[in-house]
Structure formats: structure tokens, C-alpha cells
Amino acid sequence: MKARSRTTRARMPIVATALLATAGMIATVAASCGDGAGAAPKITTTARAGVAPVPPEQGAYFGAWVPPEGTGLPSDSPSPSASSSDSPSDTPSESPSDSGSPSGSPSGKDAGKPGMAPVAGFERQLGRQLDIVQSYRGWKSDFPGALEKSVAGGNRYLLLTWAGADTREIVQGEHDELIERRARAVKALGKPVFLRWSRDMDKSSNGRRVHSADDFIAAWKHLREIFKREKVDNVAWVWCPTARGFSGANAGSYYPGDDQVDWICADAQPGGDYDYRDLSEAVKLFMEWARGRRKPIMIGEFGVPKSYGMRRAQWLREAAKTLQDPQVKAVVYFNSDEQAESARDKRRAYSVVGDKHATSALRELATTPYFNPRNLPVTSGG
């Protein structure tokens, strides 16, 4: 996979072309790679181009999860990776400003919008605006909230990660009213949204509510049917198990089918049980599985542990090579320490804030033309 990405990297032009589609039809993106070496498969999505997020023709969107202020440490807030289906919202609930004229510049003007100050500060460090801003919501949490509305009001895509619930209860219709309310709220947002529902469904810690792969697939289809009934066209459905699940938990068995999924995703942190592990190793089996699907790939959570110390910058530079793959169309950095079990747990702490070498390497990745397909302005950062 690395060799293939190196052959294509230099040939990727900076292009962000709108894809043509008609309502109800499947939008198709043909990703080309210069002389054809290492070309991506034709990529299909059920999402409506111009209404829901679709892949860039070349390169990959760059995004991040940036925790709200005061929630960067494990003792401060519930982790977005918690398995509870009822975890509270971690964003403020105030109504945002209606001003949403995009500038594409990581200036401080967006910092005044509700929920956006941490995002704007992170963008200043990177030297560019994010393509994707991620938010996390519990199963029963109301959304969109302040952060989601602020993101939708600008020039960024929203990646809404929505926790799951008991799959059998969903199929039996016990949560239909809640799902209908959430579907109508997302539709009313009126902007393209990546919807990542019940990610990490393959984890054993989620077994009590997921039950089985068949139960998960049935629940996924039930949600999609309700969103279809509510005529929600601005959503791209992101299916996202763990990358690790392809080495033992049979994560692929949870796949609902090409007609049910717009983006194939994996959470690909190296894992707290490794002293050092390249991203290429963490995603290897997932990428091999994904090659058989004509879907764009999103790496929904990747991060370099603080325990890697001075090797963090090296890790990020190697990750940049791995991710410059013609099927990878979005990457989202997990800039948070909240998965750490304590302040001393450096193996599950991924924030680059305060680490000038890691920040510089992440800035290199984020400003590489491959990860800036919309050609957003780049500054020196800091």
C-alpha cells in the first residue's frame, strides 16, 4: 500500500470538481491517477451530489475532532468513545450566529461562533481551515446543537458521530419517534452532513446493545428507511467499525451492503498495547478488505500517542504517506486526550497541542496538496 501511494502522490492535481447526479440516482466518481498505476476503483455512493457530502475527485478531505474547551482530559468529560448510548452532548446548547459567509481562511472570525473557538484555535496551529469538523452525540441527545449549526453555517463539512442503541429495540420500532425527530432536525440543517452512526459496533464492549452482526445490519437499514421516509437527502452514511476488528472480530460481517453505505470508515488509533506501531500496520487488514468495495474510504479517528515521544513527528510523516492512497477520500485526526484512563496514560492521549514537533508534522500533513483538495488558503501556522 505504501509503494502505491508514493507512485501516485506527485501526480495528484489540486482539483475539487462537483459531481453530477440526479435525484434517486447513484453518483459515481472516477478517481484517476496519472498513468493509471495504483488507480482507485470507480467509487460509488448513494448520496446526492451537491446535497450530501461526496468524495473529492482527487485527494482527501482533512478534518479533526477538537474537544470543547475544558474537556481535553479524561476527568473532565465523558469520552466520545464511551459505549453508553445515552452519553450527554459535549457541545454548548446556545443558538449560533446566522452569519455563515465562508472565507476559507483560518482567521479568528469563526472563533466567535458558538462552539467554534477550539476549532479556530486548532486551525491557526495547522495554518489552514479544516474540511471536516467532527462532533459526538449520545443516542438520546438533541442535535444539531451550537457546534453543528456553526459548522454548517460556514465552509466546513460536519461529521456527526451519533451513538447507537439496542439494535433489537430499534428494529422493533421502540425508538421510531426519536429517530424521526433526529431525521427532521438533520434535514432542517439544510447542509451536507456525514452521519456516522454506532461506530465501533464490532467492539466486544458494545455487544450488549449490538447483539450480533445481523441485528446491527437490520437496525442500520431501519434507520435509513426512516430517514428516507422523512426525505432526508443531505446525509452521507458513514459505516465505521474499528480497523483492529478486521484482524479478529470479523468487522466486515457488520457491513450492511453497498446500497446502504456511502463511505467506508475505520477508527485506526495504534492501540494502547503497542510500544510503537505505524498507521500502515494499524489499517493494513481494513484496507485489504476495503479494496473489494467501490466506496470512498474515511479514516474517522487516527492519532499518534504521546507515549511515542520524539517519534511522534516521524509517525505522522509516515502516516501521511500511507494515507495518500487513491481510495482514501477523508482523514480525521483525533486531537484529544480524553480516551486516556488517567493523566499518566500517554498511550491513549493523542492531542498534539503543546508538542511543537508533532504539531509541525501534523501541519505538514494537513497542508500537503493531497489533503487540501479544495485548495484552501495556507498560512505559516502557529
Yes or no: say if 262 and 45 are a contact pair by the CB < 8 Å rule. yes
The whole-number pLDDT of residue 263 equals 97
The whole-number pLDDT of residue 13 equals 37
The whole-number pLDDT of residue 12 equals 36
Q: Which residue has the cell 471536516?
A: 132
The structure's pTM equals 0.82
Sign of torsion, CA 334 213 239 39? positive
The whole-number pLDDT of residue 108 equals 63
Q: Could you tell me which of 80, 73, 66 has the C-alpha nearest to residue 337?
A: 73
Yes or no: say if 40 and 60 are a contact pair by the CB < 8 Å rule. no
The whole-number pLDDT of residue 71 equals 56
Q: Quick count: other Cβ atoms within 10 Å of Cβ 17?
A: 10
The whole-number pLDDT of residue 40 equals 56
The whole-number pLDDT of residue 48 equals 78
Q: Quick count: other Cβ atoms within 10 Å of Cβ 167?
A: 24
Yes or no: say if 350 and 335 are a contact pair by the CB < 8 Å rule. yes
The whole-number pLDDT of residue 97 equals 31
The whole-number pLDDT of residue 92 equals 29
The whole-number pLDDT of residue 41 equals 63
The whole-number pLDDT of residue 16 equals 35
Cα dist. 334→136, 139, 247, 249, 350 in Å? Answer: 12, 21, 22, 23, 7
**pLDDT mean values, one per 10 residues, the chain (382 residues):** 39 35 36 42 77 93 90 43 41 31 52 94 95 98 95 96 98 98 97 97 96 98 98 97 90 97 94 90 96 95 96 98 97 96 94 96 98 94 67
